[in-house]
Amino acid sequence: MPAKRKSIHGEWSSRLAFILAATGSAVGLGNIWRFPYVAGENGGGAFVLVYLLCVASVGIPVMMAEVMLGRRGRQSPVNTMSTLAEEERSSTHWQYLGLMGMVAGFLILSFYSVVAGWTMAYVFRVASGVFDGATAEQVSGAFTVFVSDPERLLGWHTIFMIMTIIVVSRGVKSGLEQAVRFLMPTLFVLLVAMVGYAISTGHFSEALAYLFRPDFSRLTGESILAALGQAFFSLSLGMGAIMIYGSYLSHTASIPRTAVIIAAMDTSVALLAGLAIFPIVFANGLEPELGSGMVFKVLPIAFGQMPGGTLFGTLFFLLLVFAAWTSAISLLEPMVTWLVENRGMNRVMAAAWSGLAAWSVGVISLLSLNVWSGYTLFGKSFIELVEFIATNVMLPMGGLLVAVFAAWVMSRESSQDELHLSGSTYRMWRVLARYVAPVAVAVILLTATGIL
Ligand code: PHE
């Protein structure tokens, strides 16, 4: 048995610190911006059901695998994979799995920062009171005008990326813990209050039916893939974020319990967001297919109508910015640790260069929303294409390979030693990671691409 490694980048102060940081990574725009709009585009109930199945049967086992690999390898995902592969006498080509994850994280960060920029802009817009008493049409119109202005988008995108670079360049451990400890519960309470408001619109049961009564005729290969991709995106899996956070986790912490807690919190935030948004959609006679502007077209209507809505809405978008920030940090971290380990860069330079590169790709994305919106490939604009490839292709493939490595390449002794699981729970994980997760991901990918 090799001696337990130590990370050169440090360790979390406790298991709770890891849970908080990983939850900070998981809970973000994926839950509040992405989940409702993707659910709306894919017909609601059946999509939600497949999404929940994916979280439970693929997401949780893959999350356990990622944390386990990270903690055992204790380096950037690229080097963790090559070290562990060597240890298990397998090919060092496994490092390309780390590399693909890094690229996926880079691509996600590029558009994530653009959308986080929208959220920042909305903090000020809601605060200014422009939505007071605004109709659904006015709110939608305001969003359309907003995204057609590249200069504004550029400003916010730049500010958000700089905020992310600053935290990562200082090392993710300081500050993240306290921030998440305070932010997540507050965001949760605000969401519950929003659901309360949504109930008062009188369209809550319609929303419940839409989200939880599956209409299987709406299920296509593509919507199943969208549900799988959303599960990976929301849980921060398949690109090394959870792996790198796992690499700072102490050896005594229990991985399975931790993974279940994180997945449960992440999923409840997404469902609450859905329950807050859809009643407002139906109450205002809107269609669920509102696209990626959904939260920005829907929530301000409610903030403009409810008592104290300006203050409440400002706080809501502000918290969403923070939630996005703690996620963006984890998107940049794998790349930065790799540059520090392999290129001998210091953290500040590594964070600045990789952030700048992601920012540049983000600029193309934000221009594709307006001046370059005419250029499309497979009917998708640049930002949609990057979001699709990274989320629905790269993350599931990354997750599949993580599961294969953890449950097929790694010896039973190694994984059992790291997971501290015995008997039936270990066997359950192994069956999920060996068969269920890889087969489900492979079948869904192949069906959606028309190969199967
Ligand atoms: N999980 C984050 C969210 O839901 C996004 C993310 C994806 C973060 C992948 C890290 C890795 O907003």
| CATH code: domain of residue 114 | 1.10.4160.10
- The alpha carbon of 205 and the centre of ligand 1 are apart by a number of angstroms equal to 30
pLDDT attached to residue 451: 82
Low-confidence ranges of the chain (pLDDT < 50): 1
Structure ipTM over 0.90, yes or no: yes
**Quick check: CB of 136 below 6 Å from ligand 1?**
no
Q: What is the 3-state secondary structure (H, E, C) of the chain?
A: CCCCCCCCCCCCCCHHHHHHHHHHHHCCHHHHHHHHHHHHHCCCHHHHHHHHHHHHHHHHHHHHHHHHHHHHHCCCHHHHHHHHHHHCCCCHHHHHHHHHHHHHHHHHHHHHHHHHHHHHHHHHHHHCCCCCCCCHHHHHHHHHHHHCCHHHHHHHHHHHHHHHHHHHHHCCHHHHHHHHHHHHHHHHHHHHHHHHHHHHCCCHHHHHHHHHCCCHHHCCHHHHHHHHHHHHHHHCCCCCHHHHHHCCCCCCCCHHHHHHHHHHHHHHHHHHHHHHHHHHHHHCCCCCCCHHHHHHHHHHHHHHHCCCHHHHHHHHHHHHHHHHHHHHHHHHHHHHHHHHHHHCCCHHHHHHHHHHHHHHHHHHHHHCCCCCCCCCECCECHHHHHHHHHHHHHHHHHHHHHHHHHHHHCCHHHHHHHHCCCHHHHHHHHHHHHHHHHHHHHHHHHHHCCCC
Asked whether residue 8 is assigned to any structural domain, the reply reads no
**Quick check: CB of 29 below 6 Å from ligand 1?**
yes
**Quick check: CB of 240 below 6 Å from ligand 1?**
no
Number of folded domains that form the chain: 1
- The alpha carbon of 452 and the centre of ligand 1 are apart by a number of angstroms equal to 29
- Residue 432 belongs to domain spanning: 15-448
- The alpha carbon of 196 and the centre of ligand 1 are apart by a number of angstroms equal to 27
Give the closest residue (by CA) to ligand 1 atom 2: 26
pLDDT attached to residue 252: 83
pLDDT, tens digit, 9 for 90 and up, residues 50-69: 999 999 999 999 999 999 99
Asked whether residue 380 is assigned to any structural domain, the reply reads yes
Asked whether residue 10 is assigned to any structural domain, the reply reads no
**Quick check: CB of 22 below 6 Å from ligand 1?**
no
**Predicted TM-score (pTM) of this structure:** 0.96
Asked whether residue 25 is assigned to any structural domain, the reply reads yes
Give the closest residue (by CA) to ligand 1 atom 6: 236
Asked whether residue 341 is assigned to any structural domain, the reply reads yes
Q: Which of 23, 25, 245 to mutate to test the pocket of ligand 1 (most atoms within 8 A of CB)?
A: 25
Asked whether residue 4 is assigned to any structural domain, the reply reads no
Asked whether residue 2 is assigned to any structural domain, the reply reads no
**Quick check: CB of 31 below 6 Å from ligand 1?**
yes
- The alpha carbon of 327 and the centre of ligand 1 are apart by a number of angstroms equal to 5
pLDDT attached to residue 450: 81
**Quick check: CB of 25 below 6 Å from ligand 1?**
yes
Asked whether residue 24 is assigned to any structural domain, the reply reads yes
